[in-house]
């Protein structure tokens, strides 16, 4: 009787359990092609345009595709950054003189680059207030007077003095001692008489001090104000006198660091206030 039941069983029934109909080879191939197309579409939407290597099969799904930004974009950004740094140095050193107008093509020829990265760098300096646009001519270096310098010093003092006094009470002496090389570097830079070199070391010391507060926004804002305070005044002082000012300013750094290591808040307060009052 069992054999008779097997003989009369419906197709697709095995032992009382229905077995799904098995797909043919054509159905398998069609499903595989559809899944491949869907996967390629998903990869295109998430990863953007597919590189030639992926089309040729040199990259597999299990292997992350190398990040290869377009070379001209990376190169232009790099050039712009270098030009911006060079222009900032020229501003601090007085090579770019307040009141003078400079065209992007002329500066580009001097730097050996195209005019585009120079214009982009100048636009950044415009946002920072270092230069202003002169239509159809170029960019004029802003003329600054002692009143503006005093205002910048006041704002810097309002931001940095309270922070330094708080740090004087909370930061251990060994952490302050780690900043000794930066303070000594400002003295060496000042002795060279190069305002651009000193400006860089000066910002590095103040940045390191404020970084101990753990507030990135504070550091960013304070450094922007500090950079603006370093641009030369209209009718800058003679080189000899400027060098003496730089040396005096640098020695205030080492004296301040000594007071911070000793934990003498009264001396710290006096030095910091004097440092900003005579900010150069």
Least confident span in 27-41, 125-139, 248-262: 27-41
What is the distance, to the nearest Å, from the Cα of residue 217 to the centroid of all Cα atoms in its chain? 13
Range of weakest confidence among 159-173, 193-207, 221-235: 221-235
For residue 4, what pLDDT band results from cuts at 50, 70 and 90?
very low
Instruction: Work out whether the CA dihedral 257, 259, 260, 262 comes out positive or negative.
Output: positive
Do 228 and 264 belong to one domain? yes
| Structure tokens that stand for 116 in this block | 């585009």
Q: What average pLDDT does this structure show over 106-118?
A: 92
CA distance 114 to 245: 38
One domain for residues 269 and 152: yes
Q: For residue 90, is pLDDT > 60? A: yes
CB–CB of 88/141 below 8 Å? Answer: no
| 21 inside domain | no
Domain that holds residue 225: 146-277
Is residue 157 domain-shared with residue 102, that is, in the same domain?
no
Number of domains in the chain: 2
Look at residue 77 in the predicted model and tell me its pLDDT. Answer: 57
In this prediction, residues 219-226 reach a mean pLDDT of 94
pTM: 0.66
Least confident window among 2-16, 169-183, 217-231: 2-16
Mean pLDDT for the chain overall:
77
pLDDT band at 79, cuts 50/70/90? confident
Residue 37: predicted pLDDT? 58
């Amino acid at each position: 009787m069992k054999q008779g039941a097997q003989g009369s069983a419906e197709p697709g029934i095995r032992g009382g359990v229905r077995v799904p109909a098995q797909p043919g080879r054509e159905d398998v191939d069609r499903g595989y092609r559809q899944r491949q197309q869907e996967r390629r579409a998903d990869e295109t939407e998430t990863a953007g345009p597919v590189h030639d290597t992926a089309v040729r099969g040199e990259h597999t799904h299990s292997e992350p595709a190398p990040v290869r930004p377009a070379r001209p974009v990376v190169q232009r950004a790099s050039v712009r950054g270098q030009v911006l740094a060079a222009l900032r140095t020229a501003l601090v050193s007085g090579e770019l003189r307040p009141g003078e107008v400079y065209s992007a093509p002329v500066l580009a020829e001097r730097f050996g680059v195209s005019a585009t990265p120079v214009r982009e760098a100048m636009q950044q300096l415009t946002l920072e207030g270092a230069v202003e646009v002169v239509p159809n001519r170029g960019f004029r270096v802003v003329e600054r007077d002692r009143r503006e310098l005093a205002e910048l010093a006041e704002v810097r003092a309002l931001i940095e003095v309270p922070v330094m006094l708080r740090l004087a009470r909370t930061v251990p002496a060994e952490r302050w001692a780690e900043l000794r090389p930066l303070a000594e570097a400002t003295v060496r830079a000042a002795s060279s008489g190069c305002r651009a070199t000193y400006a860089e070391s000066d910002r590095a010391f103040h940045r390191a001090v404020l970084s101990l507060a753990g507030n990135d926004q504070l550091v960013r804002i304070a450094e922007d104000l500090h950079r603006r305070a370093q641009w030369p005044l209209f009718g800058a002082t003679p080189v000899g006198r400027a060098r003496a000012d730089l040396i005096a300013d640098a020695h205030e750094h080492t004296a301040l660091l000594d007071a911070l290591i000793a934990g003498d808040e009264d001396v710290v307060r006096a030095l910091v206030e004097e440092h900003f009052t005579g900010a150069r």
